[in-house]
Chain A
Amino acid sequence: MTRAWIAAAVTLVLATGCKSEKSEQAASKLTLSGASTLAPLVSEVAKRFEKKNPGTRVDVQMGGSSRGVMDARQGLVDIGMVSRDLKPDETDLDAHPVARDGICIIVHQTNPVASLTDEQLVSIFTGKITNWKDVGGEDKPIVVVNKAEGRSTLDLFLYHFKLKNSDIKAQVVIGDNQQGIKTVETSPESIGYVSIGAAEFAAKHGEALKLLPMAGVAASLENLHNGTFPLARTLHLVTKKGQQNELARKFITFAQSPETHDLVEKQYFIPMGE
């Protein structure tokens, strides 16, 4: 009995070993590089893609959006990952949107402040305004909640407000969105920012959060979808124009399809084209 099992296991291992060797000869390998914002999502999509297409291998490397653009342009990789819109001088590339990423400012539900201008936000996060009464709230110190270095939400926030991370005077530094939501929820004086999807989900499920509008636009997935919410960006997969790589096309179509929407949402991005 046991021996039979071992024999079966050995055969299986040998069989799969041979198979992967063969498929590598068939060169069904796909390489991607670029934005670290997109890399975790694309890695997950790649795993599912590999499972669906046995024998293919997808290799995902980070290095930033500009590396994604350069590598795709030079043909070093099949697909580049870019966490922004393409610039006017990047017309030699095709951009395929896979998700939208947006962040919103959150405060505690009991906070009477209904909205903040961009200047006020910058002053608060850089420590120039330290009391809520200076922006129309109660006489309470402001607790600034910042994200840890390297997080893409932080990158987007800094990019939008043209700040450096060392400019920000934080009282709390958090990791993921959930931690940010819990932190703001438990401290009425705090102000933070998290992915819009995570914030809306939490607020809808009765957590004591208030999502502040940005430049007069309410923070909601809907406004993110219709492109009116300012603190947002589209995440793209890019390929060289005119390049006919069957596998790359297949991967991009797969990444845009509803089959991967759950993965997109798990990263607190917004799936495209619903």
Chain B
Amino acid sequence: MISWRSSTSSRWGSDALLLWGLRGMAVISTAIVLLIALFIARESFPLLSTVSPLRLFTDRSWNPLEGAYNLAPMFAGTVLVSVGAVLISAPLGIASAVFCHFYAPPLVARGYRVIIELLAGIPSVVYGLWGLMVVVPLIGRIRPLGASVLAGILVLALMILPTMVVVADAALARVPREYLQGAAALGLSRWTTVREVALPAARRGLVTGALLQTGRAVGETMAVLMVCGNVVQVPARLTDPVRTLTANIALEMAYAMGNHRAALFTSGLMLFLMIFVIVACAELVGRERADA
């Protein structure tokens, strides 16, 4: 591996200038993230200083205007909807990428990629509206209401699909040619090559993709807000409504004051921590690959 240490930089000053410029930018972007974290923490402090954090999980309900701040159902909702969506879209995304790489004629593969990337560009409100007008009534036919965990999972799965496809595509593209050539030399069938050589070699990239996808799913707001029903409860069935942490903020922030507002920032803080854990996991998986 070539090392891009500053010692290899040219004797002209321009490299040093660039280096310091980049360092400055890096510091600024780190500072922005830290400031956001600090801001969220500060805004949720009024609640956390008067109400024990334990109560966020043990209060009888979420009725901030009546002094009850149970965030646990929303935490459960976020986890359920995100994990469900990833369980559907990760296999779909990997299958899509495999199709593009090993089965589709180049022209079809290119067209297919464009369409998938287009999916990423559709604003989430549009997904939400589509979910509300199409998916929700469809589920409503099974059990009236329709706005439910299931609706959220389906709509979210579609929204986060592009992330998985793009990352899986890149991971498969990085599988060394020699592996595939070796497989071909051994006379392995295409499917065996994919299953036994390409996928294992790209495994870490695929896991990273799934984790990034989870991050997107956790943070998604508008569409989830529109199709999940937003009732604060731990759902017993897939057709029960549920409220996520993001939807909670979007629903109530506009008119919240005092402790209610602080409680919403606390749900933001909770989201921030969740994303942090997911990104840390993705980072760990990525690091393993570098070491291997």
Contacts and interface: CB of A to CB of B under 8 A. Distances in A.
A171 B140 CA distance: 12
Interface of A: 36, 40, 62-63, 140-141, 143, 148-152, 164-166, 170-175, 179, 182-183, 186-187, 189-190
Contact of A171 (B61, B65, B133, B229): B229
26 contacts: A36-B257, A40-B254, A141-B144, A143-B145, A149-B64, A149-B251, A150-B64, A150-B255, A150-B260, A165-B65, A165-B66, A166-B66, A171-B229, A172-B229, A173-B229, A173-B251, A174-B230, A174-B251, A179-B225, A182-B129, A182-B226, A186-B132, A186-B137, A187-B146, A187-B147, A189-B145
Contacts, number: 87
Interface of B: 61-66, 68, 129, 132-133, 136-137, 140, 144-147, 225-226, 229-232, 241, 243, 250-252, 254-257, 260
Contacts of B254: 40, 150-151
Given A151-B255, A190-B145, 7 more contacts: A141-B144, A143-B145, A148-B230, A152-B255, A165-B65, A182-B129, A183-B147
Contacts of B65: 149-150, 165
Which of A148, A165, A186, A187 has the most C-beta atoms of chain B within 10 angstroms of its own C-beta? A148
Nearest to A39: B255
Given A179-B226, A186-B136, A187-B146, A173 B255 contact: no
Contacts of B66: 164-166
Contacts of B132: 182-183, 186
A225 to B, nearest CB: 26
A84 B241 CA distance: 34
Contacts of A164: 66
Nearest to B133: A186
Contact of B251 (A148, A182, A183): A148
A170 B137 contact: no
B241 A187 contact: no
A187 B134 CA distance: 11
Nearest to A147: B251
Contacts of A150: 64-65, 252, 254-257, 260
Nearest to B129: A182
A173 B63 contact: no
Which of B68, B132, B260 has the most C-beta atoms of chain A within 10 angstroms of its own C-beta? B132
A231 B147 CA distance: 28
B229 to A, nearest CB: 5
A234 B230 CA distance: 30
Given A148-B230, A148-B251, A164-B66, A171 B257 contact: no
A171 B230 contact: no
B144 A172 contact: no
A165 B226 contact: no
Contact of A186 (B62, B63, B146): B146
B252 A148 contact: yes
A62 B63 contact: no
Nearest to A146: B231
Nearest to A164: B66
A90 to B, nearest CB: 23
Contacts of A36: 255, 257
B140 A187 contact: yes
Contacts of A189: 144-145
A170 B252 contact: no
A171 B145 contact: yes
A62 B257 contact: yes
Given A141-B144, A143-B145, A151-B255, A172 B137 contact: no
A190 B144 CA distance: 9
Contacts of B230: 148, 172-174
